[in-house]
Amino acid sequence: MGKKFPLKLLGDMKQVLGTEIIWQGESVILRQTKNIIHLVKEYKVLELVKGEVRIPLSKADMDGLLMPEECSGDVPYRNLLGELGWIAMCTRPDIIFHVRLMASYASKHDESHYRMLLQIAKYLHITMSYGVILCKPGGRGPPFSLPMQISSWCDASHGSCKHTKRSTTGTLTFLNGSLISYTSNKQKTVALSSTESELMGVTEATREVQYFRHLLGEFAQVESPSRIHSDSEGAGFLASNDKNSTQTRHISIKHFYCRELVDSGDIEVGFVPGKDNMADMGTKPLDRVKLWEFAIKVLAVPS
């Protein structure tokens, strides 16, 4: 192409849409230090939030949130929420649940909700060097010459929304051991049991995995089956067997989509103990020790 068009080689990419790209040998780190510094300055986070912040929000913080009748207080709630949402969506799975939670108060909030957003921003400032890490798979050869291994972790917190009693689903999707996608979403309907909410979580993870299987399958070989890790034996049984009962016949057909893919050999659902389920960070506020334990498994965290 350089023979036909005048080109200027700028070297390795260093930034895209505010996300820094750091090349380290066989791995790439994506983080948003500049965005976080700008956010902290713009909203005067260090002036308004005193003391040390070790976690984005605690369970006590979440339990204390109330839904006001209408907005009160002249605060830039939606502006700060949008900036936090961009950072969470691009490189910070450790705050995705907290930002999604605060988004449910976008239309009705007061100064107490704004203080929670500032607390999340203060946590980002303390951990601004964290970022997503993408590692080259082992072995030699040209790109995509090795089989692509896709896996997912999913979890659900039954009835966690105190306003609607709906559950929250969290998923983490990995490609050859590197995190490439993560979600934290309130489920569309109320689940009548924890097993039902976990099955909905398995369905969401299955959809995400199948998307990447189709995408990567266009130009690379994808290993089968892709494994979905769930901490619910009941959901794993329902996803892998065609047994129905009076406790499951009310569940929407779409949540049994995974059965077909299990039968075809595209996916398998495996059990993982709840204490080891990394998707837990997308379903509820975790204590400092547990959040750190999961963060160092999915993020580039300085030692």
Amino acid in the structure at residue 219: F
Whole-model pTM: value is 0.90
Tokens 């936090």 identify what position?
Answer: 84
Coil/strand/helix, residue 102: helix
Amino acid in the structure at residue 291: L
pLDDT at 162: 87
pLDDT at 114: 93
- Residue 195: how many CA atoms within 13 Å on its side-chain side? 10
Alpha-carbon distance values, 257 to 94, 201, 239 (Å): 29, 12, 8
Other beta carbons less than 10 A from residue 202's beta carbon: 29
Residues of the chain with pLDDT under 70: 138-145, 246, 303
Beta-carbon contacts of 293 under 8 Å, excluding residues fewer than 6 positions away, are: none
Provide φ and ψ at 98, rounded to 5°.
Answer: -65, -40
- Burial call 155-177: b when 16+ CB within 10 Å, e when fewer: bbbbbbeeeeebbbbbbbbbbbe
d(CA 126, CA 7): 41
Distance of CA 90 to the CA centre of its chain: 10
H or E element that contains 117:
helix 111-126
Domains of the chain: 19-126 (no CATH), 145-272 (3.30.420.10)
Instruction: Yes or no: say if 265 and 240 are a contact pair by the CB < 8 Å rule.
Output: no
